[in-house]
Chains A and B, each alone.
Chain A
């Protein structure tokens, strides 16, 4: 029993350490997201060409969302295979829907 107690304790410490490490990464992610946001807003304010800005801010948004999903929502962890499958399923339909509304509404 005592043996098991220390084992549990060590395991706890290990997990605590790992969580702390992860939390550090989360903060870095957050800083990057803030930077991306500022870049996006800055580019729009700068008055560069539209065709240049739009793809870049869309990519920045996509990367930010990736950070949210994989770091903040822990999709990079084990046990997220089905969530990822269904989320990407949704993203696929979402892509088709938005594309349709952009090009197929017959003006």
Chain B
């Protein structure tokens, strides 16, 4: 059997993302990476919590944050998490077209989230002159939220690259793990956001 036949079986296995050794390795390695990412974000959260009141006489969090935009952003990201679940559901049913469709929706929601975030930063900088260099609080805020935003950007590029690369040839056992792992990454971005909206914004306006 050639490599091609092995990777394109007539009947897709139950868990296509873990059907090959490479797939199993990717799956496990990426989960471990998320364990490390947990510590990375915890360090950023910790730094933010330590410095959240260090406003250096500038704007404080409860004067700065508005909840409307944050709520909308949360809805975008939360929904995109569900749509990527749908994408993986169709992957497991070997329905490539529907998977691409749902991934497309995920990406669109991701871009909407990103646009809101950029608007928010722009707003703070121009309306309130609250920047990365205003105070330790400013540095910590932009770093934490910015790291998350950077993850969103990377996730979008990643999913788009996968979608374009595989648009013509469809699903096989070589790219199924890649799609799956990218979706894990996307969920993790949402996990981090849940804590950001709770700890940074909700606790920030209290």
A interface residues (Cβ-Cβ under 8 A, vs B): 8, 12, 15-16, 19, 22-23, 26-27, 30, 33-34, 37, 40-41, 44-45, 50, 53-54, 57-58, 60-61, 64-65, 68-69, 72-73, 79-80, 82-83, 86-87, 89-91, 93-95, 97-98, 100-102, 105
- How far apart are the CA atoms of A50 and B205 in the complex, in Å? 10
- Chain B, residues 65-107, CB within 8 Å of chain A (1/0): the string is 0010001001100110110111001001100000000000000
**Are the C-beta atoms of B205 and A72 separated by less than 8 Å?**
no
Contact, CB under 8 Å: A16 / B82: no
Contact B11 A68 (CB under 8 A): no
Quote the shortest CB–CB distance from B46 to chain A (angstroms): 3
| A86–B32 CB distance below 8 A | yes
The minimal Cβ–Cβ distance linking A68 to chain B, given in whole angstroms, is 5
Contact B195 A41 (CB under 8 A): no
Are B31's CB and A83's CB within 8 A? yes
Q: Are B202 and A65 in contact (CB under 8 A)?
A: no
Number of interface residues, chain B, beta carbon within 8 A: 49
A2 to chain B: closest CB distance in Å?
15
A44 nearest CB neighbor, chain B only:
B202
Whether A37 contacts B78 in the complex (CB less than 8 A), given A73-B187, A90-B39, comes out as yes
Q: Give 25 pairs: A residue, B residue, CB < 8 Å, sorted on A.
A: A8-B11, A15-B92, A23-B89, A30-B78, A30-B79, A30-B81, A34-B75, A37-B197, A40-B198, A50-B206, A54-B206, A65-B191, A68-B194, A69-B187, A72-B84, A72-B190, A73-B188, A86-B31, A87-B38, A90-B37, A94-B42, A101-B45, A101-B50, A102-B46, A102-B49
Q: Identify the closest chain A residue to B50 (Cβ).
A: A101
Smallest Cβ distance from A60 to chain B, in angstroms? 7
Contact with A91, one of B28, B32, B38, B194 (Cβ below 8 angstroms): B38
CB-CB contacts below 8 Å: B100-134 with A? none
Task: Report the separation of the CA atoms of residues A75 and B78 in the bound assembly, to the nearest whole angstrom.
Answer: 18
Beta-carbon contact of B195 and A19 below 8 Å: no
Q: How far is the CB of B49 from chain A (nearest CB, A)?
A: 6
Chain A residues, Cβ within 8 Å of B195: 61, 65
Q: Tell me which residues across on chain A come within 8 A of B84, comparing CB atoms.
A: 72
Are A89 and B49 in contact (CB-based, < 8 A)?
no
- CB pair B46 A41 closer than 8 Å: no
For chain B residues 22-76, which have a beta carbon within 8 Å of chain A? 28, 31-32, 34-39, 41-43, 45-47, 49-50, 67, 71, 74-75
A89 with B35: CB separation less than 8 A? yes
Bound CA–CA A90/B31 (angstroms): 11
